[in-house]
Amino acid sequence: MTVATKNVDQAFALAKERYAELGVDVDKALSRLARIPISLHCWQGDDVGGFENAGEELGAGLAVTGNYPGKARTADELRSDLDKALSLIPGTHRLNLHASYAETGGKAVDRDALEPAHFQGWIDWAKSNRMGMDFNPTYFSHPKASDGWTLAHPDKAIRQFWIDHGIACRKIGAAFGKALGTPCVTNVWIPDGMKDLTVDRKGPRERLAQALDAMFVDPIDPKLNLDAVEGKLFGLGSENYVVGSHEFYLGYALSRKKLLCIDAGHYHPTEVISDKLSSALTFLDEVLMHVSRGVRWDSDHVVLLTDEIEGIAQEIVRGDYLDRVHIGLDFFDASINRVAAWVIGTRSMIKALMLALLEPIDALRKFEAEGDYTSRLALLEDLKSLPSGAVWDKYCQSREIPVGPAWIADVKKYEADVLSKRS
């Protein structure tokens, strides 16, 4: 299924002319696209398992469904799978790591005692790939989180343990930033909440605000580490009340000058996050996105080129927010080849950004300013059938990435040669 170079070049030349007729400079769009990093989440590769081997359940209202063979069992396997995925994705990207992926050399190191040295393997790998890294304290799959409560826990000692974990993780994030020369976004997500009718909604939120303040008390150079906080509407087992709700973290991020993490699956099913960016960024300096695809609920399906993914990319580009939005992925599907899941999701996100960069934005803005909503709607609809596929193929070809669906054969070969040998 390889595409002849000549055909890609010819189709691209014609496509460029079509876009130029609308005032779009395709080369400029592609050179901007090449500078947008997407943060690939490590947890797609092993169903959010991590390598602590403590035998803890995932918990925290998170659920990964499917039993496709070949999931990574070690950090080396996960890195090899990431290498394969990255070889099929155009551009230079980032890795988003969870604390539970520490490499402690078989020694039991509890989460409050983690250090940058436990992530040296990841730092070396990222450096050799010229990638930046992002980080997440892990507030689940741990005996001290077995009741689903962490930073807002009623028990002070448990709260302190998780505060200390957060402090350790910020230091690790700063070490990533220093080693890799690009700030690490360290994102805090906690599961704390209640299954059913909740009488005291205030107390846990006050405890959470205090715990976060204690965790963030030491300032860190923003060139090394940026703190983000991620809210949620509900989880399995926290259907009635989530302490860290959207409003809670919006207020927290605004008042403490933190990044707000906006996850596509964390709102009411009819609510879209594309509309939240311009509101949040009117007041906040930067946000982190967790791009996901919820199907009926926060199901974390693999990202596809849906209307909402296009909407998110359009808002980022139209609002000139590319330098203020950190784009991360957050999905986990164990029902398909996990490497393919990364490739499909990341390529879809990049494609959405490409389409947004190819918009004839000046013409669209002019129609809107003149009140000519008919032309605005007509042009937006017509753009859908422009030859963007030819531009995408050329982008992949120019980055020496398989063109079109040719990458699937690569993943199948990796599955036969590597994944299928894992028990």
Ligand X SMILES: C[C@H](O)[C@H](O)[C@@H](O)C(=O)CO
Residue numbers of the site for Mn ion (CB under 5 A)? 263, 290, 330
Q: Does 266 carry a binding-site annotation?
A: yes
CA dihedral 66, 67, 69, 70 (to 10 degrees): 70
How far apart CA 394 and CA 240 sit, in angstroms, is 49
Instruction: Report the phi/psi class of residue 181: left, alpha or beta, with left for phi > 0 and alpha for psi in -120 to 50.
Output: left
| Residue facing ligand X at closest CB distance | 189
Known catalytic residue at 298: yes
Q: Which of the residues 46, 47, 230, 359 is marked catalytic?
A: 230
Asked if 136 interacts with ligand X (CB under 6 A), we say yes
Is residue 25 part of the annotated active site? The answer reads: no
C-alpha 262/C-alpha 291 separation (Å) is 8
Would you tell me how many other CB atoms lie within 10 Å of the CB of residue 370? 10
Among the listed residues 98, 165, 266, 301, the single catalytic one is 266
* Torsional class of 304: left (φ above 0), alpha (ψ -120 to 50), beta (otherwise): beta
- Cβ proximity of 262 and 308 under 8 Å: no
- Please tell me whether residue 230 binds ligand X under the rule CB under 6 A: yes
Minimum separation from the CB atom of position 331 to ligand X (A): 8
Given the complex with ligand X, which of 52 and 263 has the nearer CB atom?
263
* 86 in Cβ contact with 38 (< 8 Å): no
Token digits of residue 314 = 């359009």
For the bound state, the minimum distance from the C-beta of residue 252 to Mn ion, rounded and expressed in Å, comes to 16
Shortest Cβ 189–Mn ion spacing (Å)? 6
Can you tell me the distance from the alpha carbon of 277 to that of 289, in angstroms, rounded to the nearest whole number?
9
Residue 136 partner contact from ligand X, Mn ion, none using kind-dependent CB cut-offs of 5 to 8 Å: ligand X
Footprint (CB under 6 A) of ligand X, residues 288-327: 290, 298
232: contact with ligand X by CB under 6 A: yes
- Please state the closest distance from residue 335 (CB atom) to ligand X, in A: 17
Our finding on whether 150 is near ligand X (CB under 6 A) is: no
Answer for which of 77, 81, 192, 330 binds ligand X (CB under 6 A) is 330
Could you tell me if 267 and 275 are in contact, meaning their C-beta atoms sit under 8 angstroms apart?
no
Q: Of the two residues 90 and 148, which places its CB atom closer to Mn ion in the complex?
A: 148
Q: Which of residues 256-295 bind ligand X (CB under 6 A)?
A: 263, 290
> Which residue intervals of 136-199 are DSSP H helices?
156-180
Query: Measured between alpha carbons, how far is residue 305 from residues 166, 308, 310, 414 in Å?
Result: 34, 8, 7, 25
Q: 298 a known binding residue?
A: yes
- Among positive and negative, which fits the CA dihedral 113, 115, 120, 122? positive
One character per residue 366-385, x = contact with ligand X (rule: CB under 6 A): --------------------
CB 246 to ligand X: min, Å: 12
* Beta strand ranges found along 101-176 (DSSP E): 132-136
Decide: 354 and 395 in contact? Cβ < 8 Å. Answer: yes
Using rule CB under 6 A, residue 43 touches ligand X: yes
If binding is defined by CB under 6 A, does position 39 make contact with ligand X?
A: no
Annotated binding site: 266, 298, 300
Give the catalytic positions in this structure.
189, 230, 232, 263, 266, 290, 298, 300, 330
Interface with ligand X (CB under 6 A) = 43, 48, 62, 136, 189, 230, 232, 263, 290, 298, 330
Annotated binding site for Mn(2+): 266, 298, 300
